[in-house]
Amino acid sequence: MAAVRAEWEVLPDTPTRIEAVAERCRRLVSRRALVGAGVAMVPLPGLDWLTDVALLLKLIPEINREFGLTPEQVE
């Protein structure tokens, strides 16, 4: 079996664009952290960690997309 080498294209492609994407992702993480903190104030056992898991399951793929990463590249 011949190995197929995938050609990866890095998006964003300049330091300025990388910094802009990183800043957008930082704001996204901050907003999600505020949501998680707000839910943590609700006195229901387990609700805080369920919310954290749900937020992370949505947040990580969004950040990967911002940087142009495919699931195959992340693994």
Instruction: Give Cα separations from 18 to 3, 15, 27, 50, 64 (angstroms).
Output: 31, 5, 14, 31, 12
Q: Assess contact for 40 and 48: CB atoms under 8 A.
A: yes
Model confidence at 26: pLDDT above 80:
yes
Give residue 73's pLDDT band: very low, low, confident or very high (50, 70, 90). Answer: confident
Residue 47 pLDDT more than 90?
yes
Q: Cα–Cα distances in Å, from 26 out to 9, 12, 21, 31?
A: 23, 16, 9, 9
Summarize the confidence of residues 28-40 as an average pLDDT: 96
**pLDDT over threshold 50, residue 2:** no
Model-level pTM?
0.75
Residues across the chain: 75
